[in-house]
Structure 1
């Protein structure tokens, strides 16, 4: 697992409030990644990432295969002005950032690695207005030796409707090739 700073005050105060059956150390790691890595100043999306709150971190039985389990992370954030498109609704790029961030938390909880993005498929269903409370439900679909996939749904809890769905595929990166000196 990559090494991340483990003394984030936001993580320390928030991970105790995360519902779910994952061990406290996993909840702490996930919270630390969110609050000390994704939302640190100078990182893309930090102002939005800083406001995301993890509310649940669980392992639940798969609906289609009850003998198997899947990791689930639920996050919440309110739509603010810096998240809007010119039409005044949640920007598609912001939704993609939220899906990327929240599915990465699933992979960290499931296999302790963030991986690198290979692809993301997003469907936009309905707009989310300023002030809406978003609930982002992300679940691991398959986690293999090198390839991982997760689905994410962004729900507008205020309007009670599904706004965005996404499938995110990540992989473990290959080791870098050694530079060869030309003679």
Structure 2
């Protein structure tokens, strides 16, 4: 992937290589672009692109696993400020669970990429096969969130990990998730 101009990796902590950090930052830029709808021909950004444009990559690392020091794990941390358009209007202005799930889904494949690319394997983001989320406490507009994703196990096609969303403003866990990510098979043309 060709890096975008003006991508700054200086604020990204962690021991991942400059190339890996650039790839992650470039993927955020690509996801936040406007597309043209095929059905209408009109520009459309979409909610995922809108929220991705507000996310910041704070860390990309490959670390020794605490439980198995001879094995490595990938770790990424993204930051985002909860905005009013992320709130659930039916509730008391708390962050919508669907919005939070989308942010988790977008962030969770990234440590898999970091670990595989750091260890010489082919770095592929893959797609979610399963995502199980537990909501612990609400977040409200103005709260700063850290989305911390780590790998658990990597197979040749199926990989698993966990994600925790921490409210930095209120010092509490907002949500935790376990996920299974897979490398899709080649699609056949119809």
**TM, length-normalised to structure 1:** 0.88
| Gap change, CA 1:143 and 1:44, over 3 Å in 2 | farther
Which consecutive unaligned segments of at least 5 residues does structure 1 have?
none
> What is the CA–CA distance in structure 2 between the aligned matches of 1:7 and 1:72, rounded to whole Å?
23
CA shift, 1:16, in A, is: 2.4
Aligned to 2:57: 54
> What is the CA–CA distance in structure 1 between the aligned matches of 2:48 and 2:54, rounded to whole Å?
10
Deviations 1:101-132 (A, max 9, x none): 11122222223111121110000010001100
Aligned to 2:128: 117
Specify which structure has the higher proportion of helix. 1
CA RMSD of aligned residues (A): 1.4
Describe the SS at the equivalent of 2:163. strand
Paired residues for 1:2-21 under 5 Å: 4-9=1-6, 12-13=7-8, 15-21=9-15
> What is the CA–CA distance in structure 1 between the aligned matches of 2:80 and 2:100, rounded to whole Å?
11
Of the three residues 59, 70, 73, the one matched with 2:73 is: 70
| Gap change, CA 1:44 and 1:104, over 3 Å in 2 | farther
> What is the CA–CA distance in structure 2 between the aligned matches of 1:43 and 1:146, rounded to whole Å?
30
Describe the SS at the equivalent of 1:74. strand
> Is the CA contact 1:138–1:153 (under 8 Å) kept in the aligned structure 2?
yes
Aligned residues: 172
CA shift, 1:60, in A, is: 1.2
> Is the CA contact 1:16–1:24 (under 8 Å) kept in the aligned structure 2?
no
1:39 has 2:42 as partner: no
Which consecutive unaligned segments of at least 5 residues does structure 2 have?
35-44, 117-122
Paired residues for 1:76-87 under 5 Å: 76-86=79-89, 87=91
> What is the CA–CA distance in structure 2 between the aligned matches of 1:161 and 1:72, rounded to whole Å?
20
> What is the CA–CA distance in structure 1 between the aligned matches of 2:5 and 2:100, rounded to whole Å?
25
